């Protein structure tokens, strides 16, 4: 798994007293802000994972996410971040990014380079605010890929006139993944699948539900041009998360390498 350690600047900032210094949990506030500004993370769960918080059980995960949520609430109140709400079936996802004031505060106070967060990229490159459910699905998939040891990048550099939703990489594979909510719409994008297949030989898709993943797998099995595929579902990734064999359970259906 990929982690990073925030640079500790407490209790004194290098240039002037930061806004957050008056809070008792100021170090947690800084850590969360760092994860967004420097780590590019956009969900509470990704931040908890990056900070090595306890995610070993449902109870521990709930307590850890509650700590991150409290920090996010304070950062919102200080106009340093925004939390856009994305709802996907049974899950509510808070999509995080710095405000313009937050960007100015970060750069003027800490003089550390700021990157575009995952949510920034979806907004700027994929009309993310218009398609909130799709954006939530992308961010949820990215979290579960990272949880399983993959490096994951939202909206990577375009390849061969194709802009993938996500690029994931581990010590064995580099894969471009398309996130789809409905099996019927996924199957309509045959030109996109052709481009993806030319790029990496394997068709790689994540659907929202297990049923959607099954329907797509059935159609692909009947299409001889798709010799290899990997299909995940957010439902499957969510229900198998934090289990000992979660890294082996990434794909719900697959054929070939």
Asked whether the beta carbons of 196 and 185 are under 8 A apart, the reply is no
Asked whether residue 249 falls in the same domain as residue 170, the answer is: yes
Asked whether residue 178 falls in the same domain as residue 101, the answer is: no
Q: Report yes or no on 233 lying in a domain.
A: yes
Average pLDDT over residues 209-216: 92
- Gap between the Cα atoms of 247 and 161, Å rounded: 31
Phi, psi of 207 (to 5 degrees): -95, 170
- H or E stretch including 58? helix 58-77
Q: Report yes or no on 125 lying in a domain.
A: no
Q: Report yes or no on 205 lying in a domain.
A: yes
Determine what percent of the chain is predicted with pLDDT higher than 70: 94
Q: Final residue of a domain: which of 91, 116, 141? A: 116
- Gap between the Cα atoms of 5 and 61, Å rounded: 20
Q: Report yes or no on 78 lying in a domain.
A: yes
- Gap between the Cα atoms of 80 and 101, Å rounded: 6
Asked whether the beta carbons of 251 and 210 are under 8 A apart, the reply is no
104: CATH: 1.10.10.10
Determine what percent of the chain is predicted with pLDDT higher than 90: 55
Number of domains in the chain: 2
* Bridge partner residues of 179 (DSSP): 206
Q: Report yes or no on 145 lying in a domain.
A: no
Q: Report yes or no on 34 lying in a domain.
A: yes
**DSSP one-letter string for 120-187:** HHHHHHH-TTTSHHHHHHHHHHHHHHHHTT-EEEES-S-BTTB--SEEEE-SS-EEEEEEES-HHHHH
pLDDT tens per residue, range 134-159: 999 999 999 999 999 999 999 888 76
Please choose, from the candidates 211, 168, 208, 215, the residue with its C-alpha nearest in 3D space to the C-alpha of residue 187: 215
Asked whether residue 88 falls in the same domain as residue 167, the answer is: no
- Gap between the Cα atoms of 235 and 208, Å rounded: 6
pLDDT of residue 144: 94
pLDDT tens per residue, range 41-95: 999 999 999 999 998 888 898 999 999 999 999 999 999 999 999 988 778 999 9
Could you list the residue range(s) of the whole structural domain that residue 250 is in?
156-255
């Amino acid at each position: 798994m990929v982690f990073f350690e925030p640079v500790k600047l407490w209790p004194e900032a290098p240039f002037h007293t930061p806004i957050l210094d008056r809070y008792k949990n100021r170090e947690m506030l800084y850590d969360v802000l760092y994860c967004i500004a420097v780590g590019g993370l956009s969900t509470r769960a990704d931040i908890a994972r990056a900070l090595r918080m306890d995610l070993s059980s449902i109870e521990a995960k709930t307590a850890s996410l509650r700590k991150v949520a409290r920090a996010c609430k304070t950062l919102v109140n200080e106009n340093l971040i925004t939390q856009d709400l994305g709802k996907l079936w049974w899950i509510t996802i808070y999509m995080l990014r710095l405000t313009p004031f937050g960007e100015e505060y970060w750069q003027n106070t800490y003089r550390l380079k700021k990157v575009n967060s995952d949510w920034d990229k979806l907004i700027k490159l994929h009309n993310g605010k218009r398609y909130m459910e799709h954006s939530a699905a992308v961010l949820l998939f990215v979290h579960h890929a990272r949880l399983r040891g993959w490096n994951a990048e939202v909206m990577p550099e375009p390849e061969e006139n194709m802009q993938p939703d996500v690029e994931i990489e581990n010590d064995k594979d580099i894969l471009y993944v398309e996130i789809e909510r409905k099996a019927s719409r996924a199957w309509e994008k045959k030109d996109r699948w052709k481009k993806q297949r030319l790029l990496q030989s394997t068709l790689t898709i994540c659907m929202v539900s297990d049923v959607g993943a099954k329907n797509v797998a059935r159609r692909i099995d009947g299409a001889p041009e798709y010799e290899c595929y990997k299909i995940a579902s957010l439902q499957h990734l969510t229900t198998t998360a934090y289990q000992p064999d979660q890294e082996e359970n990434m794909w719900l259906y697959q054929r070939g390498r």
